[in-house]
Chains A and B, each alone.
Chain A
Amino acid sequence: MYSKEFVTNVYRTLLTIRVFETECIKLYRQGFIRGYFHPYLGEEAIAVGVCAALTDKDYITSTHRGHGHCIANGANLDKMIAELLGKKDGYCKGLGGSMHIADTTKGNLGANGIVGAGIPIGVGAALATKIRKDDAVTVTFSSDGAANNGVFSEALNLAAAWDLPFILVLENNQYAVSTPIKESTREVELVKRGESLGVKSFRIDGNNVFEVYETTKEAIRICKEEKGPVLIEAVTFRHGGHHVNDPGLYLQKEELDYYMSKDPVEFARKYLIDDLGLNESEVEEIDSIVNKQIEDSIEFAKENGEMSSKEFLKFIENY
């Protein structure tokens, strides 16, 4: 049984990601946000469960579907939304946008527009911590589609050959854009790829935030007391299309219904009420705090200015 405080924090973070994505999609539709936007809706439990087990010393690398990782890792929402709007106080001063948010002060080495590219970068961070003898692990969030890119095998093998404190979290949402996983690989249990490289590997329910949390704690223990790396395949599903302009009509209805019924945010909310005895109004209070916080951040981002062309030209002077 988890403490009220722990579960409340978990629920608040899950809901923050949920509301963040939902409200930012509205901003996208209204024309405030441009470019690519890959929502994390439905997959929130993975980022939240993993990051709940991490400390400030640990590193993460993220993906094109990275808002959830960022938030779970403790990012500042004002700076995140400002970045999505291309504003000057955004995480990347408006130069990066959704796919390139990083917060190196918090160990977040960045989202990525190139599928799979975060894996070797994560291995590099793990190598750095090993050389320095930091008491730290590196988590790379990656995806089922990325497992088919060469860097996946090369980098995981490096991490294994070098016994690195590296945890590869594969968010297996069973699709790469519209291609179902069974059409891009014969063995759909990606956990076996890790095993084939001699890496301790787990296949878990990615919609169960507690299972994700416990598995991550075990992975950290293995990295520190035995030897890394560890692979965690977290099985999940998107609640919609690949990006905001993709209606996702190819998603099978039964599958979608099934995963909707296992909604990670609802799951935690129910746990708070049924298992920990919070009443509706206590939970609603958390809801309204989260909603207000996102509202304020949107307001901040809208008011925020843009980098001027003069500042920009100065910034690129030495390129």
Chain B
Amino acid sequence: MKELMYREALNHALLEEMRSDDTVFIMGEGIAERGGSFKVTVDLLKEFGSQRVIDTPISEASFTGAGVGAAIAGMKPVVEILFSDFTMLIMDQLVNQAAKFNFMTGGAGKVPMVLRTQGGVGNGLAAQHSQSLEAIFYHIPGLKLVMPSTPKDAKGLLKAAIRDDNPVIFLEHKLLYMNKGLVPDGDYIIELGKADVKKEGSDVTIIAWSNMLIRSLAAAEKLEEQGISVEVVDPRTLVPLDKETILESVRKTEHVVIVQEAIRRGGIGSDIASIIQEEAFDYLNAPIKIVAGLNTPVPFNLNLEKIVVPQEEDIISAVQNLVGVYQE
């Protein structure tokens, strides 16, 4: 085990996969010499050269499409889009092309491409650089969706995503890149579709991913001091979704809080809630509570930015209310 930052763990995943498989190559804006805006691709140019570490012009739709084409033609591209907000420029290539090629060819064609991008609020990056757009990808059959919260998960999941035969949206969070955590040495894989119980507990289940998982763990610690035992489940991949691990936790605690940074309307939290109520209704001791971003673009002003996405206090009070009201 070694302590690594999230961005270093991602870098190691790319490095190892590029070393072990010549068909893996990466492209994006400023990823080569400069090593990417979040320093995920530093030093890869030195080892692999400009044929496999490619700086692109600001032509998102077309270099993503080129990734799709290269993948169909036998390569394993990892395409980086600087901000998930800019994935709105590449939707045809993702939704109409990459996501459907395998299906439309009756299973003959494959698109083993990873699209790395990052979302979420930063500090005052405003409406076009702060969005949490995962529900849009979640909605599209044919795309897998991975949202790692820790360095260990980031590395194991990125390696699995690169080896996967399907297009995978690998959605990072801009506030996580500098977070540190223990990462196993050498080659390891975390299978897509396996949730992780990040903390065990018995009174209430919090389901959260990406940066909200980190925030939920902090909240769980405080709640523990107040005598509320919280289990925290990290789905890690939203597609495929590990229903069984979620349901098992729900059957144990009988109380569920789902925390998502994305806006409430049409969110993944609502979908997970509907799955739980269909499959574990009898176990629920209280309505499922969803703590989510407000239905609004993200404001520039820092104090207002805090209001629109869940904070630690919001998670704590949601759990307190749920347990206080319904657990006698």
Which residue numbers of A lie inside 8 Å of B, CB to CB?
Answer: 34-36, 86-87, 92, 94-97, 99-100, 112-116, 145-146, 148-150, 176-179, 183-185, 250, 306-307, 309, 312-313, 316, 319
Contacts and interface: CB of A to CB of B under 8 A. Distances in A.
B304 interface: yes
Contacts of B294: 316
Contacts of B124: 34-35, 86, 97
Given A114-B86, A148-B57, A149-B59, A97 B295 contact: no
Interface in B56-92: 56-62, 85-86, 89
Given A86-B301, A150-B61, A179-B29, A100 B86 contact: no
B57 A309 contact: no
A306 B57 contact: no
Contacts of B62: 150
21 contacts: A34-B302, A36-B129, A86-B124, A86-B301, A86-B302, A97-B124, A100-B127, A100-B300, A113-B85, A114-B89, A150-B59, A150-B62, A178-B34, A179-B55, A183-B55, A184-B56, A184-B57, A250-B34, A306-B303, A319-B296, A319-B297
B307 A309 contact: yes
Contacts of B201: none
A178 B300 CA distance: 26
A31 to B, nearest CB: 11
Contacts of B299: 94-95, 312
A112 B307 CA distance: 24
Given A94-B299, A149-B59, A185-B57, A34 B123 contact: yes
A207 to B, nearest CB: 24
Interface of B: 29-30, 33-34, 55-62, 85-86, 89, 122-129, 294-297, 299-304, 307
B133 to A, nearest CB: 14
Contacts of B297: 319
A114 B300 CA distance: 16
A67 to B, nearest CB: 15
Contact of B33 (A95, A114, A178): A178
- Residue with the greatest number of chain B CB neighbours at <10 A, chosen from A92, A95, A184, A306: A95
A113 B126 contact: yes
Given A94-B300, A100-B300, A177-B34, 14 more contacts: A35-B126, A87-B301, A97-B300, A145-B57, A145-B58, A148-B57, A149-B58, A149-B89, A177-B29, A179-B29, A179-B55, A184-B56, A185-B57, A319-B295
A307 B123 contact: no
A116 B58 contact: yes
B296 A114 contact: no
A138 to B, nearest CB: 22
A145 B295 CA distance: 33
Nearest to A92: B300
Given A94-B301, A95-B301, A316-B295, A35 B60 contact: no
Contact of B300 (A95, A115, A150): A95
The 3 closest A-B pairs by CB, nearest first: A97-B300, A113-B128, A34-B124
B54 to A, nearest CB: 11
A121 to B, nearest CB: 13
B304 A146 contact: no
B84 to A, nearest CB: 13
B304 A312 contact: yes
B296 A316 contact: yes
B59 A148 contact: yes
B30 A177 contact: yes
A306 B301 contact: yes
B304 A95 contact: yes
A34 B300 CA distance: 9
A292 B115 CA distance: 50
Nearest to B303: A306
Contact of B128 (A92, A114, A149, A309): A114
A35 B301 CA distance: 10
Nearest to A148: B57
A73 B211 CA distance: 41
A95 B295 CA distance: 15
A306 B300 CA distance: 11
Contacts of A92: 300
Contacts of A312: 299, 304, 307
A36 B300 CA distance: 10
Contacts of A96: 126-127, 300
Nearest to A116: B58
Nearest to B58: A145
B89 to A, nearest CB: 8
Given A35-B126, A96-B127, A316-B294, A176 B300 contact: no
B300 A309 contact: no
B128 A35 contact: no
B57 A176 contact: yes
Contacts of B85: 113-114
B93 to A, nearest CB: 11
Contacts of B128: 99-100, 112-114
A116 B89 CA distance: 11
Contacts of A116: 58
A81 B34 CA distance: 32
Contacts of B57: 145, 148, 176, 179, 184-185
Nearest to B59: A148
Contacts of B34: 177-178, 250
A289 B121 CA distance: 39
Nearest to A145: B58
Given A113-B129, A145-B57, A309 B303 contact: yes
Contacts of A35: 122-126, 300
